[in-house]
A and B are shown apart, each in its own frame.
Chain A
Amino acid sequence: MTDHCDTDPAPDMVPGRTPHRRAPWYRALAGVAALLIVALIGVTCVDVIGRYALNRPFGGAYELTQILLAALVFVALPLTTADGGHVEVDLALHLLSRRVQRVLGRLAGAVASVALAFFAWRLVVIGMDQLHDGTRSASLAIPMAPLAFLAAVSCAVSAILILLRKEAP
Protein backbone atom coordinates (compact mmCIF):
# COMPACT_ATOMS: atom_id res chain seq x y z
CA MET A 1 0.00 0.00 0.00
CA THR A 2 3.03 2.22 0.20
CA ASP A 3 4.15 2.08 -3.41
CA HIS A 4 3.15 4.39 -6.26
CA CYS A 5 3.90 7.49 -4.26
CA ASP A 6 4.63 10.61 -6.18
CA THR A 7 7.60 12.46 -4.75
CA ASP A 8 6.50 15.97 -5.73
CA PRO A 9 5.50 18.10 -2.76
CA ALA A 10 2.02 18.44 -4.32
CA PRO A 11 1.93 22.17 -3.64
CA ASP A 12 -1.78 22.62 -4.19
CA MET A 13 -2.96 20.06 -1.70
CA VAL A 14 -5.41 21.47 0.80
CA PRO A 15 -3.86 20.75 3.34
CA GLY A 16 -2.13 17.41 3.38
CA ARG A 17 1.22 16.04 4.18
CA THR A 18 1.88 13.37 1.56
CA PRO A 19 1.03 13.52 -2.13
CA HIS A 20 -1.97 11.76 -3.61
CA ARG A 21 -1.49 8.09 -4.27
CA ARG A 22 -1.45 6.66 -7.72
CA ALA A 23 -2.73 3.13 -7.00
CA PRO A 24 -5.56 1.91 -9.28
CA TRP A 25 -8.10 1.60 -6.46
CA TYR A 26 -7.28 5.14 -5.45
CA ARG A 27 -7.75 6.50 -8.95
CA ALA A 28 -11.02 4.63 -9.39
CA LEU A 29 -12.44 5.98 -6.14
CA ALA A 30 -11.19 9.47 -7.01
CA GLY A 31 -13.02 9.20 -10.32
CA VAL A 32 -16.26 8.42 -8.51
CA ALA A 33 -15.68 11.39 -6.17
CA ALA A 34 -15.13 13.67 -9.19
CA LEU A 35 -18.40 12.47 -10.73
CA LEU A 36 -20.20 13.15 -7.44
CA ILE A 37 -18.88 16.73 -7.41
CA VAL A 38 -20.06 17.18 -10.99
CA ALA A 39 -23.46 15.81 -9.98
CA LEU A 40 -23.65 18.19 -7.00
CA ILE A 41 -22.94 21.16 -9.27
CA GLY A 42 -25.34 19.79 -11.86
CA VAL A 43 -28.25 19.46 -9.41
CA THR A 44 -27.95 23.10 -8.34
CA CYS A 45 -27.66 24.32 -11.93
CA VAL A 46 -30.64 22.28 -13.12
CA ASP A 47 -32.68 23.60 -10.20
CA VAL A 48 -31.68 27.27 -10.52
CA ILE A 49 -31.73 27.46 -14.31
CA GLY A 50 -34.88 25.35 -14.47
CA ARG A 51 -36.86 27.63 -12.25
CA TYR A 52 -35.92 30.80 -14.16
CA ALA A 53 -35.66 29.65 -17.74
CA LEU A 54 -38.47 27.09 -17.69
CA ASN A 55 -40.33 27.94 -14.46
CA ARG A 56 -39.80 24.31 -13.60
CA PRO A 57 -37.78 23.89 -10.39
CA PHE A 58 -36.34 20.54 -9.53
CA GLY A 59 -38.37 19.32 -6.56
CA GLY A 60 -35.79 16.76 -5.52
CA ALA A 61 -32.84 19.18 -5.50
CA TYR A 62 -32.72 19.50 -1.71
CA GLU A 63 -32.60 15.84 -0.86
CA LEU A 64 -30.52 14.87 -3.88
CA THR A 65 -27.92 17.41 -2.73
CA GLN A 66 -27.98 15.82 0.73
CA ILE A 67 -27.52 12.32 -0.64
CA LEU A 68 -24.80 13.28 -3.13
CA LEU A 69 -22.96 15.19 -0.42
CA ALA A 70 -22.97 12.22 1.95
CA ALA A 71 -21.87 9.93 -0.87
CA LEU A 72 -19.02 12.32 -1.75
CA VAL A 73 -17.80 12.59 1.82
CA PHE A 74 -17.77 8.86 2.38
CA VAL A 75 -16.25 8.04 -1.01
CA ALA A 76 -13.50 10.58 -0.34
CA LEU A 77 -12.78 9.53 3.26
CA PRO A 78 -10.53 6.57 2.31
CA LEU A 79 -8.67 8.84 -0.14
CA THR A 80 -7.96 11.43 2.54
CA THR A 81 -6.95 8.70 4.95
CA ALA A 82 -4.62 7.06 2.41
CA ASP A 83 -3.04 10.46 1.75
CA GLY A 84 -2.44 10.96 5.45
CA GLY A 85 -4.58 14.06 4.92
CA HIS A 86 -6.30 14.22 8.31
CA VAL A 87 -5.32 17.20 10.41
CA GLU A 88 -2.59 16.27 12.84
CA VAL A 89 -0.33 18.27 15.10
CA ASP A 90 3.37 17.48 14.95
CA LEU A 91 4.48 20.48 16.92
CA ALA A 92 6.09 18.87 19.95
CA LEU A 93 7.34 15.75 18.23
CA HIS A 94 10.78 16.99 17.29
CA LEU A 95 11.62 17.03 21.00
CA LEU A 96 11.45 13.23 21.01
CA SER A 97 13.80 10.68 19.51
CA ARG A 98 13.00 9.13 16.12
CA ARG A 99 12.29 5.86 17.83
CA VAL A 100 9.72 7.31 20.22
CA GLN A 101 8.22 9.25 17.35
CA ARG A 102 7.77 6.05 15.38
CA VAL A 103 6.08 4.30 18.28
CA LEU A 104 3.83 7.30 18.91
CA GLY A 105 2.90 7.40 15.23
CA ARG A 106 1.86 3.74 15.28
CA LEU A 107 -0.07 4.26 18.47
CA ALA A 108 -1.85 7.32 17.11
CA GLY A 109 -2.79 5.37 13.98
CA ALA A 110 -4.21 2.56 16.11
CA VAL A 111 -6.24 5.01 18.19
CA ALA A 112 -7.69 6.67 15.10
CA SER A 113 -8.40 3.24 13.68
CA VAL A 114 -10.49 2.34 16.73
CA ALA A 115 -12.60 5.47 16.23
CA LEU A 116 -13.15 4.71 12.53
CA ALA A 117 -13.99 1.05 13.23
CA PHE A 118 -16.53 2.18 15.81
CA PHE A 119 -18.07 4.54 13.23
CA ALA A 120 -18.30 1.64 10.77
CA TRP A 121 -20.06 -0.60 13.26
CA ARG A 122 -22.61 2.06 14.26
CA LEU A 123 -23.30 2.84 10.61
CA VAL A 124 -24.09 -0.83 10.00
CA VAL A 125 -26.56 -0.65 12.89
CA ILE A 126 -28.17 2.45 11.34
CA GLY A 127 -28.28 0.78 7.92
CA MET A 128 -29.99 -2.33 9.32
CA ASP A 129 -32.56 -0.15 11.13
CA GLN A 130 -33.27 1.78 7.95
CA LEU A 131 -33.57 -1.40 5.92
CA HIS A 132 -36.09 -2.68 8.45
CA ASP A 133 -38.07 0.58 8.64
CA GLY A 134 -37.99 1.24 4.90
CA THR A 135 -36.48 4.70 5.42
CA ARG A 136 -36.54 6.73 2.22
CA SER A 137 -36.16 10.32 1.06
CA ALA A 138 -39.24 12.54 1.17
CA SER A 139 -39.90 13.44 -2.45
CA LEU A 140 -37.91 11.02 -4.61
CA ALA A 141 -38.39 8.04 -2.25
CA ILE A 142 -34.74 7.04 -2.53
CA PRO A 143 -33.97 4.28 0.01
CA MET A 144 -31.45 5.48 2.58
CA ALA A 145 -30.03 2.17 3.85
CA PRO A 146 -27.52 1.76 0.97
CA LEU A 147 -26.05 5.13 1.86
CA ALA A 148 -25.52 4.03 5.45
CA PHE A 149 -23.82 0.82 4.25
CA LEU A 150 -21.62 2.83 1.87
CA ALA A 151 -20.62 5.01 4.82
CA ALA A 152 -19.92 1.92 6.91
CA VAL A 153 -17.65 0.40 4.24
CA SER A 154 -15.87 3.72 3.85
CA CYS A 155 -15.14 3.98 7.56
CA ALA A 156 -14.05 0.33 7.74
CA VAL A 157 -11.62 0.75 4.83
CA SER A 158 -10.31 3.98 6.37
CA ALA A 159 -9.81 2.21 9.70
CA ILE A 160 -7.56 -0.34 7.99
CA LEU A 161 -5.70 2.30 6.00
CA ILE A 162 -4.90 4.41 9.03
CA LEU A 163 -3.78 1.37 11.00
CA LEU A 164 -1.31 0.49 8.23
CA ARG A 165 -0.28 4.06 7.58
CA LYS A 166 3.24 4.81 6.55
CA GLU A 167 5.20 6.70 9.10
CA ALA A 168 5.48 10.40 8.38
CA PRO A 169 8.89 11.59 7.14
Chain B
Amino acid sequence: EELIMSSWLPPKHPIVVNAFEPWAEEVEKVTDGRVTVRIMGKPLGSPPAHFDMARDGVADVTYGLHSFTEDDRFNRARLGQFSFLGDDAIANSQAYWSVYGDQLNAAEEHAGTHLLGLFMHGPGLLHNNVRKIETPADMQGLKIRVPGGYVGDLVSALGATPLFMSSPEVYEKLSRGVIDGVAFTYEAMTAFNLVDDIKYSMTVPGGIYNTTWFFVINEDKWNSLSEEDRAAIDAISGQAFAERVGQAWNDADTAAQAEIGDKVDFYQATPEVVAALKEQAAKLEQAWSEGLGDYDGAAALAAFREMTGVSAE
Protein backbone atom coordinates (compact mmCIF):
# COMPACT_ATOMS: atom_id res chain seq x y z
CA GLU B 1 0.00 0.00 0.00
CA GLU B 2 1.38 3.40 -1.00
CA LEU B 3 0.55 6.45 1.10
CA ILE B 4 0.68 9.76 -0.75
CA MET B 5 2.12 12.56 1.33
CA SER B 6 1.81 16.19 0.21
CA SER B 7 4.59 18.41 1.53
CA TRP B 8 4.53 22.19 1.15
CA LEU B 9 7.75 23.13 2.93
CA PRO B 10 10.86 23.53 0.75
CA PRO B 11 12.29 20.03 0.08
CA LYS B 12 15.47 20.88 1.99
CA HIS B 13 13.73 22.20 5.10
CA PRO B 14 15.23 20.59 8.23
CA ILE B 15 12.02 18.97 9.41
CA VAL B 16 11.38 17.53 5.95
CA VAL B 17 14.88 16.08 5.74
CA ASN B 18 15.29 15.08 9.39
CA ALA B 19 11.76 14.19 10.47
CA PHE B 20 9.26 13.48 7.69
CA GLU B 21 11.59 11.66 5.30
CA PRO B 22 13.11 9.44 8.03
CA TRP B 23 9.58 8.74 9.32
CA ALA B 24 8.52 7.71 5.80
CA GLU B 25 11.46 5.33 5.52
CA GLU B 26 10.74 3.95 8.97
CA VAL B 27 7.13 3.22 7.99
CA GLU B 28 8.34 0.98 5.22
CA LYS B 29 10.73 -0.76 7.56
CA VAL B 30 8.32 -1.42 10.44
CA THR B 31 5.63 -2.73 8.11
CA ASP B 32 8.11 -4.96 6.27
CA GLY B 33 7.49 -3.01 3.07
CA ARG B 34 3.72 -3.50 3.10
CA VAL B 35 3.18 0.24 3.52
CA THR B 36 5.30 2.80 1.72
CA VAL B 37 5.14 6.60 1.72
CA ARG B 38 5.60 8.69 -1.39
CA ILE B 39 6.37 12.34 -0.66
CA MET B 40 5.20 14.48 -3.56
CA GLY B 41 7.80 16.85 -5.05
CA LYS B 42 5.17 19.54 -5.47
CA PRO B 43 2.36 20.12 -2.95
CA LEU B 44 -1.14 19.23 -4.18
CA GLY B 45 -2.64 22.45 -2.86
CA SER B 46 -1.83 25.65 -1.00
CA PRO B 47 -0.34 25.29 2.51
CA PRO B 48 -3.55 26.35 4.31
CA ALA B 49 -5.51 23.69 2.43
CA HIS B 50 -3.43 20.84 3.81
CA PHE B 51 -5.65 19.73 6.67
CA ASP B 52 -8.71 19.56 4.43
CA MET B 53 -6.63 17.77 1.81
CA ALA B 54 -5.98 14.88 4.20
CA ARG B 55 -9.59 14.88 5.41
CA ASP B 56 -10.93 14.85 1.83
CA GLY B 57 -8.38 12.33 0.57
CA VAL B 58 -6.65 14.64 -1.93
CA ALA B 59 -3.50 13.31 -0.29
CA ASP B 60 -3.28 10.58 2.37
CA VAL B 61 -0.77 12.19 4.69
CA THR B 62 -0.28 15.93 5.30
CA TYR B 63 1.11 18.27 7.89
CA GLY B 64 0.61 21.96 8.58
CA LEU B 65 0.04 24.68 11.12
CA HIS B 66 -3.18 24.96 13.10
CA SER B 67 -3.00 28.75 12.75
CA PHE B 68 -3.13 28.58 8.94
CA THR B 69 -6.87 28.82 9.01
CA GLU B 70 -8.59 31.40 11.11
CA ASP B 71 -11.79 29.62 12.11
CA ASP B 72 -13.47 27.81 14.97
CA ARG B 73 -11.97 24.40 14.27
CA PHE B 74 -8.72 24.34 16.20
CA ASN B 75 -9.53 26.47 19.24
CA ARG B 76 -8.03 24.02 21.74
CA ALA B 77 -4.93 23.62 19.58
CA ARG B 78 -3.94 27.13 20.68
CA LEU B 79 -2.65 25.57 23.89
CA GLY B 80 0.79 25.40 22.32
CA GLN B 81 0.85 28.91 20.86
CA PHE B 82 1.20 30.90 24.09
CA SER B 83 4.28 32.50 25.64
CA PHE B 84 6.52 30.91 28.31
CA LEU B 85 5.91 27.29 27.27
CA GLY B 86 9.42 25.88 26.97
CA ASP B 87 12.80 26.24 25.28
CA ASP B 88 13.26 22.66 24.12
CA ALA B 89 11.37 21.57 21.01
CA ILE B 90 11.42 17.92 22.12
CA ALA B 91 9.91 18.64 25.54
CA ASN B 92 7.44 21.07 23.94
CA SER B 93 6.30 18.58 21.35
CA GLN B 94 6.00 15.70 23.79
CA ALA B 95 4.01 17.84 26.22
CA TYR B 96 1.83 19.06 23.38
CA TRP B 97 1.13 15.54 22.13
CA SER B 98 0.23 14.37 25.58
CA VAL B 99 -1.68 17.36 27.01
CA TYR B 100 -3.53 18.50 23.87
CA GLY B 101 -4.02 14.88 22.88
CA ASP B 102 -5.47 13.67 26.19
CA GLN B 103 -6.81 16.55 28.25
CA LEU B 104 -8.12 18.61 25.34
CA ASN B 105 -9.20 15.76 23.04
CA ALA B 106 -7.18 16.76 20.00
CA ALA B 107 -8.64 13.88 17.96
CA GLU B 108 -12.05 15.55 17.99
CA GLU B 109 -10.64 18.75 16.50
CA HIS B 110 -9.01 16.68 13.76
CA ALA B 111 -12.13 14.70 12.83
CA GLY B 112 -11.88 12.86 9.53
CA THR B 113 -8.21 12.09 10.08
CA HIS B 114 -6.05 9.94 12.32
CA LEU B 115 -3.36 11.82 14.25
CA LEU B 116 0.21 10.85 13.47
CA GLY B 117 1.76 13.71 15.34
CA LEU B 118 1.22 17.02 17.11
CA PHE B 119 4.28 19.13 17.62
CA MET B 120 5.87 22.52 18.20
CA HIS B 121 9.18 24.12 17.30
CA GLY B 122 11.83 25.74 19.52
CA PRO B 123 11.21 28.99 21.39
CA GLY B 124 10.00 31.96 19.37
CA LEU B 125 12.04 35.17 19.55
CA LEU B 126 11.30 38.79 18.76
CA HIS B 127 13.72 40.08 16.11
CA ASN B 128 13.98 43.69 14.98
CA ASN B 129 16.37 46.11 13.34
CA VAL B 130 15.37 49.36 15.05
CA ARG B 131 16.26 49.23 18.72
CA LYS B 132 16.96 46.99 21.68
CA ILE B 133 13.70 46.55 23.52
CA GLU B 134 14.52 47.24 27.17
CA THR B 135 11.27 48.63 28.45
CA PRO B 136 7.71 47.94 27.30
CA ALA B 137 7.65 51.49 25.89
CA ASP B 138 10.32 50.50 23.36
CA MET B 139 7.70 48.36 21.65
CA GLN B 140 5.67 51.45 20.74
CA GLY B 141 5.22 51.96 17.01
CA LEU B 142 7.27 48.95 15.85
CA LYS B 143 5.83 47.12 12.86
CA ILE B 144 6.14 43.42 13.60
CA ARG B 145 5.29 40.52 11.33
CA VAL B 146 3.47 37.86 13.34
CA PRO B 147 2.49 34.32 12.34
CA GLY B 148 -1.05 34.37 13.65
CA GLY B 149 -3.64 35.26 16.24
CA TYR B 150 -2.05 35.05 19.69
CA VAL B 151 1.27 36.84 19.03
CA GLY B 152 -0.66 39.44 17.08
CA ASP B 153 -2.84 40.18 20.09
CA LEU B 154 0.21 40.16 22.37
CA VAL B 155 2.37 42.64 20.44
CA SER B 156 -0.60 44.86 19.76
CA ALA B 157 -1.43 44.96 23.49
CA LEU B 158 2.15 46.18 24.02
CA GLY B 159 1.75 49.04 21.55
CA ALA B 160 3.38 47.59 18.43
CA THR B 161 1.61 47.07 15.10
CA PRO B 162 1.18 43.42 14.11
CA LEU B 163 1.29 42.68 10.38
CA PHE B 164 0.34 39.43 8.66
CA MET B 165 2.07 38.07 5.56
CA SER B 166 3.40 34.78 4.25
CA SER B 167 6.87 33.71 5.41
CA PRO B 168 8.65 34.17 2.04
CA GLU B 169 7.35 37.77 1.95
CA VAL B 170 9.19 38.57 5.18
CA TYR B 171 12.57 38.96 3.49
CA GLU B 172 11.23 41.44 0.92
CA LYS B 173 9.43 43.47 3.57
CA LEU B 174 12.16 43.44 6.20
CA SER B 175 14.97 44.32 3.81
CA ARG B 176 12.92 47.24 2.50
CA GLY B 177 11.97 48.53 5.93
CA VAL B 178 8.30 47.83 5.32
CA ILE B 179 8.38 46.00 8.65
CA ASP B 180 10.74 46.63 11.57
CA GLY B 181 10.79 43.16 12.97
CA VAL B 182 9.36 39.69 13.06
CA ALA B 183 8.41 37.02 15.56
CA PHE B 184 10.36 33.96 14.40
CA THR B 185 12.57 31.14 15.61
CA TYR B 186 16.36 30.97 15.37
CA GLU B 187 16.05 28.59 12.46
CA ALA B 188 13.83 30.92 10.43
CA MET B 189 16.45 33.68 10.62
CA THR B 190 18.80 31.70 8.40
CA ALA B 191 16.14 29.79 6.46
CA PHE B 192 14.57 33.02 5.22
CA ASN B 193 17.88 34.85 4.82
CA LEU B 194 17.10 37.52 7.41
CA VAL B 195 20.42 37.69 9.29
CA ASP B 196 21.67 40.83 7.54
CA ASP B 197 18.44 42.67 8.16
CA ILE B 198 18.12 41.93 11.88
CA LYS B 199 20.11 43.70 14.58
CA TYR B 200 18.49 42.70 17.88
CA SER B 201 16.84 39.47 18.94
CA MET B 202 15.08 39.33 22.27
CA THR B 203 14.85 35.96 23.96
CA VAL B 204 12.19 35.31 26.55
CA PRO B 205 12.49 32.32 28.91
CA GLY B 206 10.18 29.66 27.48
CA GLY B 207 9.71 31.59 24.21
CA ILE B 208 7.60 34.60 23.34
CA TYR B 209 5.37 32.45 21.16
CA ASN B 210 5.27 29.09 19.47
CA THR B 211 3.42 27.51 16.58
CA THR B 212 1.57 24.24 16.68
CA TRP B 213 1.56 21.66 13.94
CA PHE B 214 -0.56 18.69 12.99
CA PHE B 215 0.62 15.57 11.15
CA VAL B 216 -2.34 13.51 10.00
CA ILE B 217 -3.50 10.71 7.74
CA ASN B 218 -6.89 10.34 6.08
CA GLU B 219 -9.17 8.31 8.35
CA ASP B 220 -10.54 5.92 5.72
CA LYS B 221 -7.08 5.26 4.42
CA TRP B 222 -5.89 4.60 7.94
CA ASN B 223 -8.70 2.15 8.60
CA SER B 224 -7.95 0.34 5.37
CA LEU B 225 -4.54 -0.68 6.74
CA SER B 226 -4.21 -3.91 8.68
CA GLU B 227 -4.32 -3.74 12.45
CA GLU B 228 -0.75 -4.94 12.61
CA ASP B 229 0.49 -2.19 10.29
CA ARG B 230 -1.50 0.47 12.12
CA ALA B 231 0.07 -0.58 15.41
CA ALA B 232 3.52 -0.54 13.86
CA ILE B 233 3.02 2.94 12.40
CA ASP B 234 1.49 4.28 15.60
CA ALA B 235 4.56 3.10 17.48
CA ILE B 236 6.85 5.35 15.42
CA SER B 237 4.36 8.24 15.36
CA GLY B 238 2.79 10.29 18.16
CA GLN B 239 5.16 10.51 21.12
CA ALA B 240 8.04 8.98 19.16
CA PHE B 241 7.51 11.40 16.30
CA ALA B 242 7.40 14.29 18.78
CA GLU B 243 10.90 13.37 19.83
CA ARG B 244 12.10 12.98 16.25
CA VAL B 245 10.70 16.26 14.99
CA GLY B 246 11.65 18.10 18.18
CA GLN B 247 15.22 16.93 17.69
CA ALA B 248 15.12 18.21 14.10
CA TRP B 249 13.93 21.63 15.25
CA ASN B 250 16.53 21.76 18.03
CA ASP B 251 19.33 20.83 15.64
CA ALA B 252 18.14 23.44 13.14
CA ASP B 253 18.11 26.10 15.86
CA THR B 254 21.60 25.13 17.01
CA ALA B 255 22.95 25.19 13.47
CA ALA B 256 21.34 28.58 12.86
CA GLN B 257 22.82 30.02 16.07
CA ALA B 258 26.27 28.80 15.05
CA GLU B 259 25.87 30.30 11.59
CA ILE B 260 24.63 33.65 12.88
CA GLY B 261 27.35 33.94 15.55
CA ASP B 262 27.55 37.53 16.77
CA LYS B 263 26.07 39.12 13.66
CA VAL B 264 22.91 39.68 15.68
CA ASP B 265 22.69 40.94 19.25
CA PHE B 266 20.86 38.20 21.18
CA TYR B 267 19.79 39.37 24.62
CA GLN B 268 17.54 38.27 27.45
CA ALA B 269 14.37 40.28 27.90
CA THR B 270 14.62 42.56 30.95
CA PRO B 271 12.47 41.65 33.99
CA GLU B 272 10.40 44.72 33.24
CA VAL B 273 9.57 43.54 29.71
CA VAL B 274 8.94 40.00 30.94
CA ALA B 275 6.54 41.32 33.56
CA ALA B 276 4.64 43.32 30.94
CA LEU B 277 4.49 40.30 28.65
CA LYS B 278 3.25 38.10 31.48
CA GLU B 279 0.51 40.53 32.35
CA GLN B 280 -0.82 40.66 28.79
CA ALA B 281 -0.27 36.94 28.23
CA ALA B 282 -2.26 36.06 31.34
CA LYS B 283 -5.25 38.01 30.06
CA LEU B 284 -5.11 36.34 26.67
CA GLU B 285 -4.69 32.88 28.22
CA GLN B 286 -7.68 33.48 30.44
CA ALA B 287 -9.86 34.65 27.56
CA TRP B 288 -8.86 31.54 25.59
CA SER B 289 -9.55 29.20 28.50
CA GLU B 290 -12.96 30.69 29.14
CA GLY B 291 -13.94 30.18 25.52
CA LEU B 292 -13.34 26.43 25.57
CA GLY B 293 -16.63 25.37 27.15
CA ASP B 294 -16.26 22.07 28.96
CA TYR B 295 -12.51 21.91 28.61
CA ASP B 296 -10.23 23.45 31.24
CA GLY B 297 -7.61 25.37 29.29
CA ALA B 298 -5.94 26.83 32.40
CA ALA B 299 -5.39 23.37 33.86
CA ALA B 300 -4.02 22.14 30.54
CA LEU B 301 -1.56 25.06 30.39
CA ALA B 302 -0.45 24.35 33.93
CA ALA B 303 0.06 20.67 33.12
CA PHE B 304 1.97 21.61 29.98
CA ARG B 305 4.31 23.95 31.85
CA GLU B 306 4.90 21.39 34.52
CA MET B 307 5.97 18.89 31.89
CA THR B 308 8.38 21.30 30.21
CA GLY B 309 9.64 22.66 33.50
CA VAL B 310 8.70 26.30 33.03
CA SER B 311 7.68 28.01 36.25
CA ALA B 312 3.98 28.76 36.07
CA GLU B 313 3.72 31.23 38.98
Chain A residues proximal to chain B, CB less than 8 Å = 51, 55-57, 59, 62-63, 129-130, 133-139, 141
Contacts and interface: CB of A to CB of B under 8 A. Distances in A.
B34 to A, nearest CB: 34
A102 B89 CA distance: 65
B73 A133 contact: yes
Contacts of A135: 69-71
A161 to B, nearest CB: 28
Given A133-B69, A135-B70, 19 more contacts: A51-B143, A56-B161, A57-B163, A57-B179, A59-B161, A59-B162, A59-B164, A62-B169, A63-B164, A130-B71, A133-B71, A134-B72, A136-B70, A137-B70, A138-B70, A138-B148, A138-B149, A139-B152, A139-B162
A135 B71 CA distance: 4
Contacts of B149: 138
Q: Which of B141, B143, B148, B163 has the most CB of A within 10 A?
A: B163
Interface string B22-41: 00000000000000000000
B165 A62 contact: yes
A136 B71 contact: yes
B178 interface: yes
B141 A55 contact: yes
B278 to A, nearest CB: 24
Contacts of B141: 55
A51 B178 contact: yes
A62 B69 CA distance: 15
A141 B148 CA distance: 12
Contacts of B70: 135-138, 141
Nearest to B149: A138
B163 A134 contact: no
A57 B152 CA distance: 15
A23 B38 CA distance: 52
A55 B179 CA distance: 11
Given A51-B143, A55-B141, A139-B152, A62 B163 contact: yes
A27 B162 CA distance: 40
Nearest to A56: B161
A57 B71 contact: no
Contacts of B162: 59, 139
A55 B169 CA distance: 20
A138 B164 CA distance: 8
Contact of A57 (B72, B148, B178): B178
5 contacts: A51-B143, A56-B161, A62-B163, A130-B71, A139-B164
A8 B178 CA distance: 46
Nearest to A57: B143
Given A138-B148, A138-B149, A139-B152, A59 B71 contact: no
A156 B306 CA distance: 55
B161 A62 contact: no
B130 to A, nearest CB: 11
A145 B311 CA distance: 42
A16 B64 CA distance: 41
Contacts of A62: 163-165, 169
A137 B164 CA distance: 10
A133 B72 contact: yes
A137 B69 CA distance: 8
A133 B73 CA distance: 6
A129 B52 CA distance: 10
Nearest to A141: B70
A61 B8 CA distance: 25
Interface string B49-77: 00010000000000000000111110000
Nearest to A52: B177
Contacts of B179: 57
Interface in B160-174: 161-165, 169
Given A133-B71, A133-B72, A134-B71, A57 B164 contact: no
A48 B115 CA distance: 43
A57 B73 contact: no
Contacts of B73: 133
A141 B163 CA distance: 14
Q: Which 10 A-B pairs have the closest CB atoms?
A: A135-B71, A133-B71, A134-B72, A138-B70, A138-B164, A62-B165, A134-B71, A139-B164, A136-B70, A133-B73
A135 B164 CA distance: 16
A56 B178 CA distance: 11
B16 to A, nearest CB: 25
A59 B152 CA distance: 11
